[in-house]
Amino acid sequence: MLNLAAILERNAALMPDKTAVICAGVPTSYAELNAAANQVANALIGLGIGRDDKVVLACPNLLAFPTIYYAILKAGAVVVPVNVLLKAEEIAYVLRDCEARAMFCFEGSAELPLGREARAAFDAVDSCRHLFMIGNGTQQTATLELLMAGRPATPCHALTAADDTAVILYTSGTTGQPKGAELTHANLAMNALATHALLRQQADDVHLAVLPLFHSFGQTAQMNAAITAGATLVLLARFEPDAVLTAMRQYEVSIFAGVPTMYIGLLNLPGAAERHDLAAIGARLRIGLSGGAAMPVEVIRQCEQRFNIAILEGYGLTETSPVATFNFLDGERIAGSVGQPLWGTQVRIVDDNGVDVAPGASGEVVVRGHNTMKGYYKRPEDTAAAIRNGWFHTGDIGRFDDHGNLFIVDRLKDMIIRGGFNVYPRELEEVLMTHPSVAQAAVIGVPHATHGEEVMAVIVCKPGCDAAPADMLEWCRQRMAAYKYPRHVEIVAALPMTSTGKVLKRELRDSYTAASLR
C-alpha cells in the first residue's frame, strides 16, 4: 500500500512545529497543514467521496492548494489540478472527461475571474455534484471554510495501492483535445524522492515556489520534494522579478525553480542591483532548477555568474511525472545538456523504426521507468500509441554524447524542413541569445512557395536596447549556415506564453503567414 500524502503525515509527526508553508507572509507549520488537510479529507469522506473519485482543483499558489491536494489523496480520491487561466468551456471539458465528483476553485479577481468561469462550468455539468469556492463564495456556492467548519482533524489516510491513480494532469492539447495523464502514487512518490536526493535537500532548505503548483514541475520538484524533505515552501501566486528577489532575501531562499523565461526576467530586471542585495541572495541561494523548456546556454552562464549558484537543467514531461533526466550536483555539468537519467529510469534515442542510434546522432527520445504514467484516462488508443513495448515516446528529438549526457535538440513538431534540410529552432535560438541586445528569441517555420518552409526569428530586445531587423538578419547570416539562417526577423515587445512560461510557437506560426511576409 502507498499513499503520497504519507510524506506530509510523517513530517507532521516528526517536526510538528517546523514551518511547512509561508504564504503572503504567514507561516503554517507541518502540524497545522496536516490538520487542515485532515479536516478537508474527513469532509470529503462525509460526502461519500473516496477511492478513485475525481476532484478538480483550480487554485493558484496559495496555502489552499497543498491543503486540498493532500486532503484529496488522504480521502483516497484523485486530484485533477487545472490551469487557473482556463475558461468555462475548457473547465467543463475537464469536468466531463475525468467524471469529476467535486471541484474546489479559487474565487479569483477582476483580472482573474476564475470563480465565475468555474461556476459556469459547474452549472453545465450535471455529473459534478459539489463546488467549493476558495474565498468568499456566493449564496449559491459553499466555501472551503464552511466545508472545514466543525470537521475533525483526526488522522485520515486511505489505504491506496501504489499503482492507484493519484493525480490526473491534462496536457496542453496542442495536438487535439487535452488528454488526462494518469500518474500513480508510486509515480509521484518516487519522482519526489529522486528529486529530493539529487538536490541533497535538508530540512533547513527553503524553496521559493513561483512555478504554478497545478503544473507537474512545480508540483513534484518543489511541493512534493520540499514536503518530503521537511523543508519550507514559500508560495508566490505569480512571477514578478522584484517580488521574487524580495522573497529570496526576506526568507533566505536556498532553492529556486523556474522556466527559462523567469531566469531571463531576473537577469534583465532594470535596477536590480540597486534595489536588491544580490550578494546576500547569492550567499544563501545554492541551487537554481530549470525545466519546462530549453534553457539557453548564455542564460545559464549569466545566471551562474550573477547569483554564484549551480543551475541544474532537467528534462521531463507531464507523462513522466515529470522528471526523467537531470544534471547532478556530484557529476560534471555540461552546458546545454539536460543530464542523465534518474535512478530507476531508462532513456534511449531511437530512429523511426525504434532502433537505437549511435552517440552523437539525433532521434526520438523514449523513456521507461517508475516515472512513466499509467496511461491517458479513458483513451486506450492514445495510450497504446504513446507507450509502445513499455517505452513512452516523447515526441522530442535528442542525442547522447559519448558519456551518456542527453541533449534535447528540439520538438519533432517544431523542426523546420527548409528545401529538404532539417533545421532545428533551438540551435538557432542558442546563437541568437548570444547577441548583446537579445533577451528572448523564438525561431519558427513559416510557409514558403518553393522551399516548403522558411526560417523566421521573432525577437524581444533587452530593456534599453534596440535592434534593426536587417542588422539582425545580417548578424545571423554571418554565424549560421546558409540553409538555416533566418530570412525573416521580427522585433516584438513580448512573445506569447503559456501560464507555465513556454513560448506558444503554434500561435506565432499562425500569426505570421506567407502573405504577411511578402
Would you write out the chain's pLDDT as a tens digit for each of its 518 residues?
899 999 999 999 999 999 999 999 999 999 999 999 999 999 999 999 999 999 999 999 999 999 999 999 999 999 999 989 888 988 999 999 999 999 999 999 888 899 999 999 999 999 999 999 998 766 567 899 999 999 999 998 899 999 999 999 998 644 467 899 999 999 999 999 999 999 999 999 999 999 999 999 999 999 999 999 999 999 999 999 999 999 999 999 999 999 888 998 999 999 999 999 999 999 999 999 998 777 888 999 999 999 988 899 999 999 999 999 999 888 888 878 999 999 999 999 999 999 999 999 999 999 999 999 999 999 999 999 999 999 999 999 999 999 999 999 887 778 888 877 778 888 899 899 999 999 999 999 988 877 778 999 999 999 999 999 999 999 998 998 888 899 999 999 999 988 777 888 888 988 886 444 44
Nearest C-alpha neighbor of 203 from the set 16, 35, 4, 3: 16
Residue 273: partners with Cβ closer than 8 Å, 6 or more residues away: none
Tens of pLDDT along 299-346?
999 999 999 888 999 999 999 999 999 998 888 888 789 999 999 999
CA distances from 271 to 276, 277, 307, 340 (A): 9, 11, 15, 37
What's the per-residue H, E or C state across 354-406?
CCECCCCCCEEEEEEECCCCCEECCCHHHHHHHEECCEEEEEEEEEECCCCCE
Q: Are 221 and 323 in contact (CB under 8 A)?
A: yes
Q: Which residues pair with 315 in a beta bridge?
A: 325
Q: Which domains does the chain have, with CATH numbers?
A: 28-184 (3.40.50.12780), 239-411 (3.40.50.12780), 415-517 (3.30.300.30)
Summarize pLDDT for 173-222 with one digit per residue, the tens: 444 678 999 999 999 999 999 999 999 999 999 999 999 999 999 999 99
CA–CA separation, 262 and 71 (whole Å): 31
Instruction: Give DSSP secondary structure letters for 205-265.
Output: -EEEE-S-TTSHHIIIIIIIHHHHHT-EEEE-SS--HHHHHHHHHHTT--EEEE-HHHHHH
Pick the closest to residue 206 from 256, 170, 153 (CA basis).
Answer: 256
* Radius of gyration of the chain measured on its C-alpha atoms: 23
Pairwise CA distance, residues 449 & 454, whole Å: 9
Q: Tell me how far apart the 2 most distant CA atoms of the chain are, in Å.
A: 71
